[in-house]
Structure 1
Amino acid sequence: MPQHVPDRLEDLPYAAHLAPHTGPLRSDARYDTVHFDGGEYADTSAAGATFLECALTGVSLSGVKLRQARFNEVWVQAGRWVACDLADSDWQDSSVVGGVLAGLAAHGSALRRVVFRGCKLEAVNLRAAVLRDVVFEDCLLRDVDFADARLTDVTFPGSTLEEVRLRGAALGGVDLRGALRLDLPDGHQGLRGALISNTQLIELAPQFAHALGITVKED
């Protein structure tokens, strides 16, 4: 897990080596120590591309195809990614700081040692994805689907979870205690292997009771 997530471009260990990007995105391209700054890309394809030690600041992606793309040691700041295809993409040792990720198809993706900080994730499909050592810090996760995914050592400090689905997910070392809100439409489904607080247990008690066929009434 990254011990420190830089908040500024100049704090990146490879900042001095970054070269500005020019031109369109291309499928199967290799981007090594490239800085994408403030560009807007729409309805194009970078499927199968590799991003190594890259920085993306203020970049807007709309309808961009990034299926099977690889992101290794990538820093994303204040981006807006909408309706992009990130299915089967691979993320490692990367950070997403601020910005909006909405309507993303990221099913089957693999995320290892990735930090999301201060982000809004809405209508993100992470079905059957594999997440290991991932942190969602001070994020809003709304209508995020982890169904049939595998989550290992994933934490949510300071984050709000609204309509987050975990049905069929396999959890190991998933710590939900730091979450500010847990709104799980699937109820207890998929929570096996998660760590929750006493307060969260009380909040989820009606769902657990319903699942067990228990009727709770006041005297």
Structure 2
Amino acid sequence: MNFDGEDLSHKALADRLPPGETHVFRECDLTEADLWGASLAGATFESCVLEQTDFRKADLDGAVFGGGGGMRVRFNDADLIDVTFTDVDLSSAQFGGALLTDASFTGCRMIGASLTGSRGTGFKVSRSNLTLANLGGCSLRGEVVEGVRFDDADLSGCDFTEATLSDCRLRGTRLLGAKFAKADLRGADLGEPDDAKLRAFAGAIINQAQANAILAARGITVL
């Protein structure tokens, strides 16, 4: 079923979407639309307005989101296996309880988004802004994370074991209990090297300039 340029705001849509079909939404207004529990596996959302759209408990496995977006989209407890988000505004989006195995976020604006409490074996994120986001307990183990801003984000308990962080920023980031064993941080901006960060970075790989900055902050000069 195709929806092109339709105003679907504030509508209950789940009953209009029969299971077993692939649904396509192009440039639709889904502001506060109710898609709770909807069958949307493999669906496409192209440049849609998603202001406070309710996708809670929806089946979005393999869905594709490109462009568009909006504040406070709710994906709580949804199935998001293999879903792709590209250039989507997901500011303050809620993913608590969502199954995010092999989901990918590329070029997304995710300021203040909450992924803590999400489920699955891990997801991918690149070229995205996660300032003030909450990823507490999430796994990015072994992933290549490129061009991501984690400024003032909460990464407490996150697993970055053997991950590579390239062109990423970790300024003001909360890292209590995070794991960075064998993670390659040589291409990351580590921000202020306080004691809490250094404990989290135990076992990580850093470069000489980063090491010098850490020592300099403690009054030690390397000649």
TM-score by length of 2: 0.75
Q: Alpha-carbon deviation of 1:216?
A: 4.6
Pick closer, same or farther for the CA change 1:109–1:203 going to 2, 3 Å: farther
1:85 and 1:113 map into 2 onto residues whose CA distance is 17
2:161 and 2:36 map into 1 onto residues whose CA distance is 31
Greater CA deviation, 51-60 or 124-133?
124-133
Pick closer, same or farther for the CA change 1:93–1:35 going to 2, 3 Å: same
1:30 and 1:175 map into 2 onto residues whose CA distance is 40
Q: Alpha-carbon deviation of 1:18?
A: 6.2
The counterpart of 1:202, out of the listed 171, 189, 212, is 212
**Aligned position for 2:145:** 136
1:118 and 1:18 map into 2 onto residues whose CA distance is 29
Q: Is the 8 A contact 2:134 2:154 kept in 1?
A: yes
**Aligned position for 2:8:** none
**Aligned position for 2:129:** 120
1:193 and 1:88 map into 2 onto residues whose CA distance is 30
1:188 counterpart SS class? helix
Greater CA deviation, 119-128 or 187-196?
187-196
**Aligned position for 2:177:** 168
CA deviations over 1:65-109 (Å, ceiling 9, x no partner): 212223222221111011121123232223222131111121122
CA deviations over 1:176-201 (Å, ceiling 9, x no partner): 1222x111553313112322222211
Unaligned runs of 5+ in 1: 1-16, 210-214
Counterpart residue type for residue 79 of structure 1: V
Pick closer, same or farther for the CA change 1:117–1:18 going to 2, 3 Å: farther
> Which is greater in Rg?
2
Percent sequence identity over aligned pairs: 21
The counterpart of 2:92, out of the listed 70, 83, 93, is 83
* Superposition RMSD in Å: 2.6
**Does structure 1 residue 97 correspond to structure 2 residue 109?**
no
> How many equivalent pairs are there?
195
Counterpart residue type for residue 112 of structure 2: G
Q: Is the 8 A contact 1:99 1:118 kept in 2?
A: yes
Q: Alpha-carbon deviation of 1:44?
A: 3.7
**Aligned position for 2:198:** 188
TM-score by length of 1: 0.76
